Amino acid sequence: TMAGLSISVASTDGLAAYAEFCRSALFGPAQSAAWVQNWATETRPDLLVATLSAEGKPVFSLALEVACKGPFRIARFMGGRHANGNFVAADPNWLAKADIPALRSVLAAIAKARPDIDLVALERLLPDLDGVANPLASLEHFSSPNLSLAVDLAGGFDALLSRASGKRKRKKHRSQIRKFEAVGSYRRIGARTPDEVGRLLDAFFEMKELRFRKMGIANVFGDAQVRGFFRALFMQALAEDRPSFVLHGLEVAGKLRAITGSSRSGKRLICEFGAIAEDDLGHASPGDFLFFDNIQEACETGFEVYDFSVGDEPYKRLWCDIETRHFEVLVPLTVKGRMLALTLRQGARLKAFVKNSPTIWKLTKVLRRKAAGQAAPAEEDS
């Protein structure tokens, strides 16, 4: 140990201390105690909590799950690819003067405690959290292949609309209301009871199931444990004064047509996921309508940024004026891990090349849909 510093690597027994640390720490939504504990309970992963302490007080704590990928064992953030915009739980005072050798020692301690782990893969890392730099950027890293898009809410909703072709947006919103009212009454629902959480999530899972099948992509929300995790996460949030995870739905004529699941993180409201029903009202863009209302509410409740999270889509471009490149830190702990890190890095380069070349990316999507009929589905975002 360095002067006054100590490192511990625990398993499930480290979760209570992790939750306690989070009460005063800064962290990304997928590193929150609620996310980590519900993921641990619902999916029962092989997990580890590596904590750096200074003068006996935790200052940096890494909660990871160990997943097998072929012959490799990879330690990654809990939630796998559901974990986006990641920022490891850390003490705000310590972050101001983050100690890089100490971070390397945490990784060395993981290697020592768990010689079976080949690679620590910290993906989709936030460059900064509300202006506080991510200490992991001082380790060797590279850009994530997928952009993350967000909207600056400065000056409130009217000011935002004046920057983002607002006349057209308001006109479209009014015309959508007319289309909805032609079918029946419409309302935006914020899930406030366990029943509403259940109803909105069931509708969301069903929408995703159909959408992924159509696109020829593996359904990342298909697994029963993953569904159990999201149910537990949003249910538990209901008990908080200001829930850190919230669900919204647009209901027209008694049927849910669009759903979003969001996290509240400091100055940002983050859309973690969304889906639309592909039905008779699809032409009226219920998803765009719900985003309009969600963004307006984010302005009214004092958020500074509405974050669409990872992935570049045309519907996000209608609003966004902030582009963020998340970054990835791959730390091989074995020779086998070094090979895997190299492969993953080249894969990310190829992915970035494909995504940044519109023609190739279009072609990739077309081929995927064509294959949807015959082949095993691909994974989303890959």
Please write the tens of the pLDDT for every residue from 287-343.
999 999 999 999 999 999 999 998 888 888 889 999 999 999 999 999 999 999 988
- How many Å apart are CA 311 and CA 290, to the nearest integer? 18
Cβ contacts of residue 161 below 8 Å, gap of 6+? 169, 170
Q: What is the pLDDT of residue 311?
A: 85
If DSSP codes are grouped into helix, strand and coil, which group holds residue 255?
strand
**Cβ contact 200:247 at 8 Å:** yes
If DSSP codes are grouped into helix, strand and coil, which group holds residue 147?
strand
- How many Å apart are CA 23 and CA 2, to the nearest integer? 26
How far is the CA of 128 from the CAs of 137, 188, 286, in angstroms? 9, 32, 32
DSSP codes joined into one string, 72-137: EEEEEETTGGG--SB--EE-HHHHTT--HHHHHHHHHHHHHH-TT--EEEEEEE-SEETTEEPGGG
If DSSP codes are grouped into helix, strand and coil, which group holds residue 8?
strand
Residue 380 confidence (pLDDT) above 90: no
Angle at 270 between CA 47 and CA 96, to 5 degrees: 70
- How many Å apart are CA 222 and CA 212, to the nearest integer? 10
How far is the CA of 138 from the CAs of 54, 101, 135, in angstroms? 20, 10, 6
- How many Å apart are CA 160 and CA 172, to the nearest integer? 16
End-to-end CA separation in angstroms for the chain: 40
Cβ contacts of residue 130 below 8 Å, gap of 6+? 26, 266, 267, 268
Q: What is the pLDDT of residue 242?
A: 92
The pLDDT confidence band at residue 2, using thresholds 50, 70 and 90, is: low
Q: What is the pLDDT of residue 54?
A: 94
Please state whether beta strands 72-77 and 119-125 pair in parallel, antiparallel, or not at all (unpaired).
Answer: parallel
How many other β-carbons are positioned within 10 Å of the β-carbon of residue 77? Answer: 26
- How many Å apart are CA 324 and CA 322, to the nearest integer? 7
Query: What are the structure tokens assigned to 98, written together?
Result: 């983050």
Q: What is the pLDDT of residue 381?
A: 46
Q: What is the pLDDT of residue 358?
A: 65
pLDDT tens digits, 86-133: 999 999 999 998 788 999 999 999 999 999 999 999 999 999 999 999
Q: What is the pLDDT of residue 282?
A: 86
pLDDT tens digits, 4-28: 889 999 999 999 999 999 999 999 9
Q: Which helix (H) or strand (E) holds 165?
A: none
Average pLDDT over residues 180-197: 95
Share of the chain above pLDDT 70, in %: 92
**Cβ contact 121:93 at 8 Å:** no
CA-based nearest residue to 30, from 324, 303, 245, 204: 245
Q: How far from chain centre, in Å, is Cα 271? A: 8
- The DSSP code for 375 is S
Residue 286 confidence (pLDDT) above 50: yes
pLDDT mean across residues, the chain: 92
CA-based nearest residue to 44, from 232, 209, 206, 220: 232
- How many Å apart are CA 260 and CA 156, to the nearest integer? 21
Query: Could you tell me the pTM of the whole model?
Result: 0.90
Domains observed in the chain: 5-145+326-379 (3.40.630.30), 154-303 (3.40.630.30)
Residue 372 confidence (pLDDT) above 80: no
Q: What is the pLDDT of residue 304?
A: 97
pLDDT tens digits, 219-250: 999 999 999 999 999 999 999 999 999 999 99
Q: What is the pLDDT of residue 289?
A: 96
Q: What is the pLDDT of residue 371?
A: 65
